[in-house]
Amino acid sequence: MRHDFLARSQASYFTDKKKSVEDGEFIVCLDFSENYTFTVQNAIQSHHWNTSQATIHPYVVYYRENEEMKHINYVVISEKVSHDASSVHLFNFKLIKFLKNKFGADKIKKISYFSDGAASQYKNKYNFVNLINHKKDFNVDAEWNFFATSHGKGACDGLAGSFKRQAFRASLQRESDKHITNATSLFEWGKNAFKKINFGFCSQEDHDSHEKMFKLRYDRCVTIKNTRQYHHYRALNNIQDPTKARYAERRRAAYLLRLVELQPPTKEELTKELLASIDCARAVIPNFKLEPPVKAAKRQRSAEEAKPSAKRPKTKGVTPAKSFAEVARDRIVIGVLDEGDPEGRIPRAQWKWVQAALTNVALRIFTPKFV
């Protein structure tokens, strides 16, 4: 029941979102397609077991222009065949650069992403931290919506299927020296073959340099539990604005920064969670400085105020202290020990039981004398 409700709700939200899209807002439907395997005509047997592949990542972008709903097709072809969050961020970089060149950087105000919930590609801590920094990376607000499991198929999947089918047929029809055998030739063929599809290309070097650029960000990522249970995420860009931080947040940030300055953590203690907390604290209080404690000066009395202290009179009726031997002389002393406590102490809540037990002992001792 819950799965069916999520699937219907997300599909309805996606439809309503396209109808109510505002100026400057873009709805992006994206998904990884199955890697394209290069094929040639009259191939030898060994070619079947040693084929290379290319990644196909399609986008369908919906927007409003002159009160009319329109869309743009965009396909990224990559030499890297693994599908991860770093590749998604690089592909989004290519897409947003294309949109800014086409519409103008000031025209793109917000992007709403819609994708499936694949944990290795979109729904993971690396993609979440990229979403948090989306405004910083692209100067565009963003939110990310995830379809229910096995319900993420959309127009972008049909776009990739049509592209790969045409590429397969074109490669078989070509001459032996013009086959499509690598990602570069596939990209060049696609630009010439499709007039209504825009293409982007990412080499292996682009992926390597992109991963090095954001390595520190990914190393400091912290996993947040139960994120797979939710299907809508939005970046709150004002969370790092010190002027909008609450008093309790500033107080916790100051306490953490003061503790780090006074007792610097060791390499073993410097975990990802601690580094992330320190970064958040520095974002709340960017100009934090540890001030030395000010010692309170002792009050100096003037000579006129100094007066001889008068001796206090002795209190009448107070007997001087006596030793335990003098107090216990000619008396019966009863000692009580708690066997449940290793130090023989009796909790305050159990004193009523002790009083009742002492009363029984006293009755057994004194009752024969008066009978």
In a domain, 319, yes or no: no
Pair of tokens at residue 200: 């982007």
- pLDDT class of 340 with cuts at 50, 70, 90: low
d(CA 109, CA 25): 6
d(CA 138, CA 217): 16
Residues 265 and 137 both lie in one domain = no
- Which whole number is the average pLDDT over 113-124? 90
Token pair 């990209």 in the structure block, residue: 187
| Structural domain that includes position 257 | 242-284
Nearest to 148 by CA among 343, 323, 12: 12
Token pair 């520095």 in the structure block, residue: 282
d(CA 14, CA 8): 10
Residues 173 and 270 both lie in one domain = no
DSSP state of 229: G
State the pTM of this model.
Answer: 0.64
- Which whole number is the average pLDDT over 24-39? 92
Percentage of the chain beyond pLDDT 90 is 34
Which of 169-173, 175-179, 342-346 is predicted least confidently?
Answer: 342-346
In a domain, 300, yes or no: no
- Return the pLDDT at 194: 93
Overall domain count for the chain = 2
The predicted-structure confidence for 204-215, as pLDDT tens digits, reads as follows 999 999 999 888
| Average model confidence (pLDDT) across the chain | 81
Of 235, 251, 270, which residue sits at a domain end? 235
* 39, 167, 177 from 172: Cα distances, Å: 7, 9, 12
Residues 9 and 152 both lie in one domain = yes
Residues 260 and 221 both lie in one domain = no
Burial class (CB in 10 A: 0-12, 13-18, 19+), 25: middle
Residues 50 and 110 both lie in one domain = yes
DSSP string covering 261-295, please?
A: HHS---TTT--HHHHHHHHHHHHHSTT---PPPPP
The predicted-structure confidence for 172-204, as pLDDT tens digits, reads as follows 888 877 888 899 999 999 999 999 999 999 999
Residues 35 and 65 both lie in one domain = yes
The single-letter code of the amino acid at 283 is A
The predicted-structure confidence for 286-318, as pLDDT tens digits, reads as follows 778 776 665 656 666 555 555 555 555 555 555
d(CA 86, CA 153): 22
Residues 74 and 101 both lie in one domain = yes
Residues 130 and 247 both lie in one domain = no
- Return the pLDDT at 110: 93
In a domain, 77, yes or no: yes
Residues 229 and 250 both lie in one domain = no
Pair of tokens at residue 333: 């002393």
> Hey, which residues does 77 pair with through a beta bridge?
56, 201
In a domain, 370, yes or no: no
- Which whole number is the average pLDDT over 47-73? 88
In a domain, 214, yes or no: yes
- pLDDT class of 237 with cuts at 50, 70, 90: low
- pLDDT class of 371 with cuts at 50, 70, 90: very low
In a domain, 176, yes or no: yes
Residues 255 and 229 both lie in one domain = no
Nearest to 56 by CA among 150, 152, 161: 161
- Return the pLDDT at 217: 86
In a domain, 28, yes or no: yes
- Which segments of 306-365 are extended strands (E)? none
In a domain, 145, yes or no: yes
8 A C-beta contact, residue 75 and residue 57: yes
Residues 264 and 153 both lie in one domain = no
Residues 170 and 279 both lie in one domain = no
Burial class (CB in 10 A: 0-12, 13-18, 19+), 255: exposed
